[in-house]
Amino acid sequence: MSIIIIGGGLAGVEAAWQIVRHGQRVILYEMRPHKTTPAHKTSYLAELVCSNSLRSKEISTAVGLLKKEMHHLGSIVIEAASKTAVPAGKALAVDRERFARYITQKIISHPLIEIKREEVKRIPEEQVVILATGPLTSDSLAEHLREITGQEHLHFYDAISPIIYADSINMDIAFFASRYGKGRDYINCPLEQRQYERFYQALLKAERVPLHDFEEPKYFEGCLPIEVMAERGKDTLRFGPMKPIGIVDPRTGKQPYAVVQLRQDNKEGTLYNMVGFQTKLKWPEQKRVFRLIPGLEQAEFARYGSIHRNTFLDAPRVLDRYLRLKRCPNIFVAGQLSGIEGYVESAATGILAGLNAVRYIKNKGLVVPPPTTALGALVTHLTNTVSKNFQPMNINWGLFPKLDKKAPRKERGKLYAHRGEIDFEAWLKDALL
Ligand SMILES: Cc1cc2nc3c(=O)[nH]c(=O)nc-3n(C[C@H](O)[C@H](O)[C@H](O)COP(=O)(O)OP(=O)(O)OC[C@H]3O[C@@H](n4cnc5c(N)ncnc54)[C@H](O)[C@@H]3O)c2cc1C
């Protein structure tokens, strides 16, 4: 029995590779070159559509740990990256053409893989399927997916507010409160008039990420970029996401001129997102401008804000803990479509989907690494997030369970990585078939 994979991007090739390593057959559908996406340029599988970097190689970073786990799972992406690497300091960057060619050749020449170059418009629901059609899933398939999951659970744009590590917020200035004294659910950063004006001017002048040709600035009113809102007038933010009404600063006993609210973003309470601050500012500009907000002078960002054309599922609501559609347990979802963000993360979920699809047809129990590992933390985030407005996320230490003991920020990466490596090794013995 063949396992069907739809999408020959980073997640799709990883899934295929994992399946054939376990001796099972694959039929891999890829619509390019007959039909292409607005971002892909070639007919290669696993084409990197933008940057050629797979980010840090350092094991003391969360993405470094994730790559190490992928290597232990036999990742074709990591293998190809190490064969086609170009100098990039502490990052793993590749020659994009050689990288994609290397993977394409290995996949198309494998005797257990059949490639079909065609667009899939409907998911064959009666088969075991891995859906990995990425952020630019074709319209017909997206429409079918919406029928299966419900209209409201498939998104076409992300609207991401920056996320800050809680312990980098200066709580001598910021304070917990909800509006009108109804609880203490938010961290509030108060601004006086002159602070607001300085922030406002910096926001207007800050450099923005240029839009791709296919990304028309068709923003929904409910999630306008903060800088676009600012352009509408000096007080628009004070009557929008920065409205101070119902907030009293305990240091002054008065309502501030404006306020930035931060909402808890993970169960552990180590991450807070800046409410209503979705943005197209460049990352260094976000750091510079948002650090002008009182209480955030030393803020460390777990994720920067962004707004992209991005097809993704509302994972916590529609996927089970093995990344299968809750309504169809024979359909696994992998890659960016599952609600994660990034090349490495997409590839990593492809490996897990491939492994679990094989386990599924062999009637073995499905597996997920523990949340102390990078892959486990990523999947737990997808399926266990508390946020009402789920948005995609790169891997970062904020997704991991807290360490047992306090440690200085600079030491923490090594401690997380050490704990993760031990747990991953123990898990791997049981997971591989
Ligand atoms: C413009 C853009 C730039 C990005 N830049 C970066 C970056 O610099 N760094 C980073 O880490 N991440 C980046 N990402 C995010 C993401 O990591 C990549 O998109 C990544 O390639 C996702 O991997 P994937 O396997 O999920 O999807 P993809 O790599 O996009 O693969 C999906 C495949 O499915 C195919 N397909 C789609 N619909 C169908 C269908 N109906 N039938 C058959 N085939 C179909 C597509 O042709 C494609 O080959 C970017 C995303 C976009 C959209």
Nearest-atom number in ligand 1 for the CA of 337 is 26
* Alpha carbon of 310 to ligand 1 centroid (Å): 9
Going by their DSSP bridges, the two strands 324-325 and 306-313 should be labelled as unpaired
Per-residue pLDDT at 126: 94
**Domain 2-160+309-431, second-level architecture:** 3-Layer(bba) Sandwich (3.50)
Q: Could you check whether 2-160+309-431 and 163-304 share the same CATH topology?
A: no
**Cα–Cα dist 243/20, whole Å:** 56
Helix (H, G, I), strand (E, B) or coil at 325: strand
> Are the CB atoms for 262 and 145 separated by under 8 Å?
no
Q: Which of 32, 50, 137, 338 to mutate to test the pocket of ligand 1 (most atoms within 8 A of CB)?
A: 50
CA 343 to centroid of ligand 1, rounded, Å: 8
pLDDT of residue 217: 59
Would you give per-residue pLDDT tens digits along the chain (433 residues)?
Answer: 899 999 999 999 999 999 999 999 999 999 999 999 989 999 999 999 988 999 999 999 999 999 999 999 999 999 999 999 998 889 999 999 999 999 999 999 999 999 999 999 999 999 999 999 999 999 999 999 999 998 888 988 888 899 999 999 999 999 999 888 888 889 999 999 999 999 999 999 999 998 777 766 556 566 789 999 999 999 999 999 999 999 999 999 999 999 999 999 887 889 999 999 999 999 999 999 999 999 999 999 999 998 888 999 999 999 999 999 999 999 999 999 999 999 999 999 999 999 999 999 999 999 999 999 999 999 999 998 877 788 899 999 999 999 998 888 889 999 999 999 999 999 998 887 7
- Residue with the smallest CA separation from ligand 1 atom 14 is 342
For residue 25, report the distance from its CA to the centre of ligand 1, in Å: 24
Check if the beta carbon of residue 103 is closer than 8 Å to that of residue 109.
no
| Integer Cα distance of 40 and 24 in angstroms | 29
The domain limits of the chain are 2-160+309-431, 163-304
Q: CB under 6 Å to ligand 1: residues?
A: 6-12, 29-32, 37, 39-40, 49-51, 119-120, 132-138, 141, 212, 335-337, 342-343, 346
Residue 125 has a pLDDT of 93
Counting from 1 in the atom list of ligand 1, the atom nearest the Cα of 394 is 11
The residue to mutate among 4, 48, 136, 144, having the most atoms of ligand 1 within 8 angstroms of its beta carbon, is 136
Ligand 1 centroid to residue 335 C-alpha, Å:
8
Closest approach atom of ligand 1 to CA 36: 47
Taking residue 266's Cβ as centre, other Cβ atoms within 10 Å add up to: 24
| CATH number attached to the domain at 163-304 | 2.40.30
Query: Among 322, 282, 320, 314, which residue's Cα sits nearest to residue 301?
Result: 282
Block residue for tokens 């129990």: 365
Whole-structure pTM value: 0.89
Q: Which ligand 1 atom minimizes the distance to the CA of 140?
A: 41
Angstrom distance (rounded) from CA 338 to CA 348: 12
d(CA 335, CA 409): 30
